[in-house]
């Protein structure tokens, strides 16, 4: 078994309250996954990531009169339950074989909660001037040093197995926007062929995941031999996190089809025939209007199985992830909260006391924050809003202090996690009878 997905409740609008059980833990869904591109969520230390949302019970307002609320909505403080890492970047640096020899990406980055790796397809797609696509795979040049590399579906699977995340993605091609129907159809056909090859490799090699004892360095296999790369075949106890020895990584398919409804439906049906543990909706948030994104998500959700997790890749702003979760999306990821934070853009509620009010974007760089003694968001329970003022955060940004990027990113991540926590609360408790599936 690679995962267990149990749906407890479905709302009239399609939103689902569920639990996703993976080798490294249980994830409450719908969930937002922070992006840890190079085995790090940029500017945020893993221990902080695990406890984002913890409330300080003695807020600054009790010490200084600065308009900070004496009490606010308490968050659970459970932090991020699952994060994402990037196959392309970790393949190039420090290398998947090195990470496998060190026991996998969980052990490498000291993260014992669930993790998902993408296939590297989107990053290769973004290297338009540095890549060449064929039926066999994609030849590309590294953005780091210009060296030449080749990713086939089989190689993407081998890299992801070596990294050892709980969930891995089939290798796919993400078509550009806009693209003609014919171009999109051909690209989709390539994605389906690559998905078949990805599944075949996963089935044959999924026991080679690098979850082993000790450090994982040159670990012996089940028959006593030492492999060339040195990772343990799945037979011994876990290196990180509990789990039965029969567990392995889950493989998700990726629905493509551009902005064409007929192709999206066809792609979903073709992938469902492969009977994979979960399904993602890819190729969105690449320049199309938000209304088009919503339309493509809605029609694809209608096609996908109701007893398996559904993941929309690379979205979005806080109001978008809430909307998609209420439509029935179970998993989402995006670099936006940390990227925006590093550039001084923060998310707050229009009415701090009403956590359902509109999302407002606060530019901390503006001069009018220079003497503002309020927190970023007076209704936010995150560790940043409980301690620091807008004036101080603006000073950090203007001074080029790295702490500013960290604090901004922590707040934005807390904002996203709070949003999902509230949506889950609206949908009800997870542990009730419902449909479920495993893979």
**Domain coordinates of the chain in residue numbers?**
4-38+86-215+222-333
DSSP letters along 187-247, please? Answer: HHHHHHHHHHHHHHHHHHHGGG----STT-TT-B-TTS-B-SS-PPPTTS--SSS---TT-
- 159: tokens are 């890299």
Q: Is 372 a catalytic residue?
A: no
Give residue 171's region: left, alpha or beta (phi > 0; psi -120 to 50): beta
Which long-range contacts does 364-368 make (Cβ < 8 Å, 24+ apart)? 364/390, 364/393, 364/394, 364/397, 364/408, 365/394, 365/397, 365/398, 366/394
pLDDT confidence of residue 152? 95
Segment holding 98, helix H or strand E: helix 96-101
> One digit per residue, pLDDT tens: the chain, 439 residues?
789 999 999 999 999 999 999 999 999 999 999 999 999 999 999 999 999 975 543 343 343 343 443 344 454 568 999 999 999 999 999 999 999 999 999 999 999 999 999 998 777 767 767 788 999 999 988 989 999 999 999 999 999 999 999 999 999 998 888 999 999 999 999 999 999 999 999 999 999 999 854 333 223 233 333 333 333 343 333 333 333 345 799 999 999 999 999 999 999 999 999 999 999 999 999 889 999 999 999 999 999 999 999 999 999 999 999 999 999 999 999 999 999 999 999 999 999 999 999 999 999 999 999 999 999 999 999 999 999 999 999 999 999 999 999 999 999 999 999 999 999 999 998 865 445 677 7
pLDDT confidence of residue 394? 98
- List the CATH code of the domain at 4-38+86-215+222-333: 3.20.20.105
| Residue 84 main-chain phi, psi, to 5 deg | -120, 145
In the three-class reduction of DSSP (H, G, I as helix; E, B as strand; rest coil), residue 319 is classed as helix
> Would the CA dihedral through 325, 89, 405, 344 be positive or negative?
negative
Rounded Cα–Cα distance for residues 3 and 25 (Å) = 10
- 117: tokens are 């790796």
Mean pLDDT computed over every residue of the chain? 87
- 115: tokens are 């993790």
In what order do the strands lie in the sheet containing 148-151?
Answer: 131-133, 138-141, 148-151
**Which entry of 118, 172, 330, 377 is annotated as an active-site residue?**
118
pLDDT in tens, 379-397: 999 999 999 999 999 999 9
Q: Report CA 244 to chain centroid distance, whole Å.
A: 24
Q: Do the Cβ atoms of 164 and 209 come closer than 8 Å?
A: yes
Rounded Cα–Cα distance for residues 40 and 37 (Å) = 6
Rounded Cα–Cα distance for residues 110 and 122 (Å) = 26
Instruction: Give the strand pairing for 359-363 and 345-349.
Output: antiparallel
pLDDT confidence of residue 191? 96
Residue 306 to residues 18, 293, 329, 353, 395: CA-CA distances in angstroms?
A: 11, 21, 11, 36, 49
**Which entry of 172, 330, 333, 372 is annotated as an active-site residue?**
333
Q: Is 166 a catalytic residue?
A: no
In the three-class reduction of DSSP (H, G, I as helix; E, B as strand; rest coil), residue 9 is classed as strand
Q: Report CA 199 to chain centroid distance, whole Å.
A: 21
Residue with tokens 């936006």: 336
């Amino acid at each position: 078994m690679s995962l267990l997905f149990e749906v407890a409740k479905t709302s009239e609008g399609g939103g689902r309250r569920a639990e996703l059980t993976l080798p490294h833990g249980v994830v409450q869904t719908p969930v937002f996954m922070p992006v840890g591109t190079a085995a790090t969520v940029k500017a945020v230390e893993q221990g902080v990531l695990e406890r984002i949302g913890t409330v300080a019970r003695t807020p600054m307002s009790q010490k200084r009169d600065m308009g900070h609320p004496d009490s606010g909505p308490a968050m659970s403080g459970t932090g991020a339950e699952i994060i994402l890492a990037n196959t392309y970047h970790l393949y190039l640096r420090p290398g998947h074989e090195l990470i496998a020899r060190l026991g996998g990406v969980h052990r490498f980055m000291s993260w014992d909660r669930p993790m998902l790796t993408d296939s590297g397809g989107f990053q290769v797609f973004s290297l338009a001037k540095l890549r060449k696509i064929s039926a066999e795979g994609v030849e590309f040049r590294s953005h780091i040093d210009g060296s030449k590399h080749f990713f086939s579906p089989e190689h993407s699977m081998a890299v992801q197995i070596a990294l050892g995340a709980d969930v891995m993605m089939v290798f796919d091609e993400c078509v550009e926007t806009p693209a003609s129907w014919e171009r999109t159809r051909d690209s989709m056909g390539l994605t389906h062929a690559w998905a078949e090859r990805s599944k075949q490799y996963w089935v044959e090699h999924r026991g080679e995941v690098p979850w082993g004892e000790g450090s994982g360095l040159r670990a012996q296999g089940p028959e006593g031999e030492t492999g060339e790369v040195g990772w343990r075949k799945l037979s011994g106890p876990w290196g990180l996190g509990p789990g039965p020895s029969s567990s392995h990584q889950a493989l998700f398919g990726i629905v493509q089809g551009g902005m064409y409804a007929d192709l999206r439906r066809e792609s979903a049906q073709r992938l469902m025939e492969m009977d994979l543990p979960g399904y993602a909706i890819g190729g969105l948030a690449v320049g199309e209007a938000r209304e088009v994104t919503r339309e493509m998500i809605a029609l694809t959700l209608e096609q996908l199985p109701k007893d398996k997790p559904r993941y929309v890749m690379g979205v979005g702003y806080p109001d978008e992830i809430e909307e998609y979760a209420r439509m029935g999306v179970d998993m989402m990821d995006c670099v936006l909260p940390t990227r925006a934070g590093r550039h001084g853009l923060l998310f707050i509620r229009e009415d701090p006391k009403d956590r359902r009010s509109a999302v407002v974007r606060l530019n901390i760089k503006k001069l009018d924050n220079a003497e503002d003694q309020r927190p970023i968001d007076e209704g936010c329970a995150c560790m940043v809003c409980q301690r620091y003022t807008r004036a101080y955060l603006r000073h950090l940004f203007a001074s080029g202090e790295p702490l500013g990027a960290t604090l901004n990113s922590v707040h934005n991540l807390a904002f996203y996690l709070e949003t999902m926590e509230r949506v889950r609360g609206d949908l009800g408790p997870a542990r009730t009878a419902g449909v479920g599936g495993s893979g």
